[in-house]
Structure 1
Amino acid sequence: MTVESVGDGYQGGVDAQTRSDSESNPESKPRRGTIFAAHLRSSAVVAVQFVAVAAALWILAWVVGKTWVVVLPLVLGLVVCTVLWPPVRWLRDKGVPPAAATLLVLLVAVGVVAGAVAAVAPAIIGQSGELAQQASAGVVQVRDWLGGPPLNIGEEQLNSAVAAINDRLSSSSAQIAAGVFTGVSAATSALVTLFTTIVVVFFFLKDGPGFLPWLRRTVGEPSGPHLSSVLGRIWSTLGGFIRTQALVSLVDAVLIGIGLVILGVPLAYALAIITFIGGFIPIVGAFVAGGLAVLIALVSNGPVNALIVLAIILAVQQLEGNVLQPWLQSKSMKLHAVIVLLAVMLGASLFGVIGAFLAVPVAATVAVVLRYYGEQVAEQAGENAAAP
């Protein structure tokens, strides 16, 4: 049933009831109660349809949650494929067999990531002790600030707060121990997910070009062409989004990292990496990474240094928002800032950090589907569909 037929059915019900009243009493117009009843029946039908759609979406979300251990490697593999597919396609165009091209690009990508981690890890380990000492000194400074004007919190109140925290930690020792075991289990699950994702990426890159033709033949007419078209658009949108975000995040990380190194902020390399990763979580990621850099600069180098770091981060963010993204991203891939923020919050609340990372790609995918649906509705209505 199409949207037009549903709308015509509702209007037809009202018109039929109106004609019935007019025919039974030609000299009078339809009664208000009759019109209200017809509208109420139409609203009831719409309400039932809305409840049915909401229930279907809830069941879909429940199934995704229950099968998340399988869905997550597939989604991560798809995201990684959007980055690795251009070099694989270039090698295949040069005559390299699909399996060899995929394996070569995958090994290079793993080597680059492992090399970056190996290059940064010594600096992080070497500076972690110094950072811990500076953090302790920062706690003392905060305590002195709380005891002075304008707050003037007494020594007894501060000691009582510290004692309450210690008591809370002591009473929660069993929960903390359980959290440690949970962390070990999560680390093991992360390793399994990582290995599964690598295998999925290999087969996606190797056999991916034949998926859409196979799906179109399998589904058949009339749904096959629509499904193939919308999946092709989703792939293009995700690829453009991920590659653009990677480039923008790299520029942010390099510029902010250079500023942190010049200012002598501890863990500058680690903060640059966090900035790069945070760039894939719009708005929230930049806020968290920037706040962490400012906090470390405040604890280690003082308020003046922290203000300079804050100015550098704001300048880089302005460069990103006003120059890089408008230049690198096409308008069809952009989402309103409110939608991005709500998507990140919803993804983080449902699936944690990985949900925040995948929130914007999922929102972009939904936007592509809705845009395609709008084009089809406009075509059936005889309107001029907007360019995708």
Structure 2
Amino acid sequence: MIAIIATIIPPGYLAYIGSYVALIAAIIAVVTCGWREKPVLLHPTSLAILASIALICGTLPWVYHAPQDLLAPVLILPMLTTIALGLLARPAGRVPRPTTFAFICLAGSFIALVGGAYEHFVLGLYRPGLGNNPIHYSTLAAMSGCLALVGMISSSARWRYVFLCGPVLGLACAIIADSRGPMLGALVMSAFGLVMLTIWLWRETMFRIALLVISAIAAGAVAYLMQSGSDRVASVVQSGLNLFTFTGSPDDIRAAFYASAFEILQTSPLVGLGLGQIMVPFEELFPDFVIALGRFDNLHADWANFAAMAGIVGLIAWVLLLVSPMLLLLDRAARQDRSTVLGTTVLATGQLVMGVSNATFGILPQTMMFAVAAGYFLAWMRPRSAQMHTPLRD
């Protein structure tokens, strides 16, 4: 509970503090329970994370030039939090229900929206972030807001329809922060989540009404912002399609990042150049950007960073991290638990979409959000999977 609350509730800059608290909780879990809960290390989700770290470590002898290269596996070590939380399921004896998890996610997105709206409308800040980067702020809010949809399927009470507000809150945070990647991520996560809920709940009249109301509110808010001059909202889809092309717009910097990543894949396809050298091709190919905007420390996209620092091996490691939550669904018990199916699908989809144009893996709150949420579902399913696979006795 400490790890979940500390990771999801704090907005803005406080999210970093929350992430450190969750990391400490994970370390305590490993130290106190690790040696007794070895089966968790053999779970497909755990194996995918460990394999990803091992792959990145395996490239180091081939790309090492300076101590900075050794930091490459460190960037994904926070993913061990997923395994650590899984270790706690059996010793704890009780895992918070998905409804509780959904409430925490809903509260986190609500707090983020209140703080962001205050900065934007009261303080007049163009792109609020509550002390954090606006993209990071809205990424966290979008992820937590869409994960709140889990509450729709984990509870049968009428009040559960409040969880449909989660994606709206997350999208609102992305809109006021004027961040197109999180906007698109919130839209895609919402679409996946609502399609699944519609399949399961369409027969409920209340669900159909609530879905119509929430959709109308979201569409109205987007239409208002488009008419009020927010060209970033209006161009979210078009700009996404232009990420890899030079159009003469400020977005050309991202196209340059990605062009340099493709250059690295051509020159060193298997293992990349190492973390310390990922910006060298960019600086050589696009010196005008360096002169105008200064030096950058990464390529601002997960796929590009992994490809540059570890080549094809890095891309495989990235995919393993992305699919690690959904590997829970290899278990029949997990496939029968709709909360886990919905939560892991939304989680993996969001991390994929937002990682296309943003760095979500690193020593970052976004990484901890992904790791802790995946760890929650791992812990939630552990006793249920064990119960289902325990043979009956006479």
User: Fold conserved (TM > 0.5)?
Assistant: no
- Structure number with the higher helix fraction is 1
Quickly name the TM-score band, shorter chain normalised.
under 0.3
What TM-score results when the alignment is normalised by the length of structure 2? 0.27
Q: TM-score by structure 1 length? A: 0.27
**Structure possessing the higher radius of gyration over alpha carbons:** 1
Tell which has more relative contact order, 1 or 2 (C-alpha 8 A, sep 6+): 2
